[in-house]
Amino acid sequence: MKFNWFHLMPYRWLPDDFRERYHGVWVDLPNALYDPERGHVLYNEYLDMLEYADQQGFDAIGVNEHHQNGYGMMPSPNLMAAALARRTSKAMLLVLGNSIALYNPPTRVAEEFAMLDVISGGRLIAGFPVGTPMDVNFCYGQNPVTLRDKYREAHDLILKAWQEREPFAWNGKYTKLRYVNIWPQPIQKPHPPIWIPGTGSIETWDFCAELGYNYSYLSFSGYKRARKVLEGYWDRMAALGKEPNPYSCTFFQQICVSDTDEACEREWWPHVNYFFNKCLHLYPGMMGPPGYMTEASIRAGVVAQAGNTSLNMGGNKSWKELVDGGYIIAGSPATVRQQVEELARGLRCGHLGVALHIGSAPMDLTNRSTYLFANEVIPHVRSIWSEWEDHWWPKAMPPEKREQPGSHNTAVQAQAERPTEVRHE
């Protein structure tokens, strides 16, 4: 199995009466609630957490894109990934991802992802989400009816831009470019591995199967509720004649590790409560603009209950309910180990996205959790699925060939800091 340490970067100071005063955490939450000087601390702490995960041996560190959102302060995940590319050298960089229909022209994504891949020595995993309605429709004004068509065109353009070696013209419905010829090109050939985040629609499964992409199931409702959805995924893969390779699938789970089960509840409950009751306070009126979902998905949703989306769950629950329901995996390393194994085998996922920072959690608590997970959980579950080959992992340059940030300054420091000798012929 492989483990990526994934950050949402929530704002940690939403007021106590937040739920009563505002209808949601996203889109129209007044930015007067945001204090940039606190934000300065947060960005730096959060990047430190991701760097610590790299030092502790996580396989990848992950960031994502949200807009006008109190629980996700990364409108530009590429900026975060760029900072991480220079401060880490081991972990792969999972950008999950860029909502490609938003970028005009979409070759911007091809360029920036190529930059990240080159800076990092080929460590990039490129995520291409369609994006949530809140982000892409209500914050970025994309038409929900044509969004998926535009997404698909952007995808085709980016893939071609990464692989063509001669300038070409792109006469699309949404993008018209006379000369496509991006510099730089990614290190990874033919292109970085592509992961597609989704929330359970059959169209996304078929898209991943058709093009050989990793399917990343994003959910805040935990591994027990994910089982039915991922059974659907594996059934679909079987129906399409795909091998059931667990590495084609990623699941995201919120996890808290402390020294004992009791300590875990005491230390983490306020921060978990903050996440489920403030960060996930979502306004239903902006979760399904007309046309965002296909009619087939609406039909499936009407039967399976459209209101119970994977995003909008877990509010008004006690610690025990969240733990028993699998919304969070929490406890001592032994407890967490056993549940992670149950998760991996139950969902058949080779990649686990671990959200070890939750809600309002501070630095010390988070790094302790990271340390315990890296040293007392991962070694025990690492070998699960080792009989399968991971085709969805970066083909990075060998570690010894990757540049070490700052090394060039060190190499020339002596010459740089003394006067050049005047030579007399």
Partner 1 sequence: MSDTPRSTLLKLGEGRPTIQVLEAGEGEPLLFLHGAGGIAAWQGALPILAGKYHVYAPLLPGFGQSNGLEYLEDQFDLFQHGFDVIEALGLERPYVVGESLGGWMAAEMAALRPKEIGRLALAAPVGLWRDEAPVVDLFGRMAHELAPYLFHDMNGPAAQQMLGLTQLFSNKDDRTQEQIETLIGMSRGFRTVAKFLFPIPESGLERRLWRIKAPTLIVWGEQDRFISPMYAEIFREKIAGAKVVTIPNAGHLVGLEAPEPYARAVLGWGSPG
User: Interface residues with partner 1 (CB under 8 A)?
Assistant: 27, 137-138, 141, 143-146, 173, 284-286, 289-291, 295, 298-299, 302, 305-308
Q: How far is the CB of 186 from partner 1 (least distance, A)?
A: 33
CA distance 385 to 340: 13
Q: How far is the CB of 287 from partner 1 (least distance, A)?
A: 10
β-strand partners of 329: 255
Kindly tell me which of 75 and 144 has the beta carbon lying closer to partner 1. Answer: 144
Kindly tell me which of 316 and 415 has the beta carbon lying closer to partner 1. Answer: 316
Q: How far is the CB of 300 from partner 1 (least distance, A)?
A: 11
Q: How far is the CB of 137 from partner 1 (least distance, A)?
A: 7
CA distance 247 to 236: 16
Orientation of helix 333-347 relative to helix 222-239, angle to 10°:
30
Kindly tell me which of 6 and 138 has the beta carbon lying closer to partner 1. Answer: 138
Kindly tell me which of 143 and 175 has the beta carbon lying closer to partner 1. Answer: 143
Token pair for 369: 């959790």
Q: How far is the CB of 242 from partner 1 (least distance, A)?
A: 29
β-strand partners of 198: 217
State the SS3 of 78-140.
HHHHHHHHHHCCCCEEEECCCCHHHCCCCHHHHHHHHHHHHHCCCCEEEECCCCCHHHHHHHC
Kind and range of the H or E run holding 268: helix 261-274
Kindly tell me which of 307 and 315 has the beta carbon lying closer to partner 1. Answer: 307
Any residues with CB less than 8 A from the CB of 165 and at least 6 apart, and which? none
Kindly tell me which of 138 and 217 has the beta carbon lying closer to partner 1. Answer: 138
Q: How far is the CB of 141 from partner 1 (least distance, A)?
A: 5
CA distance 138 to 283: 12
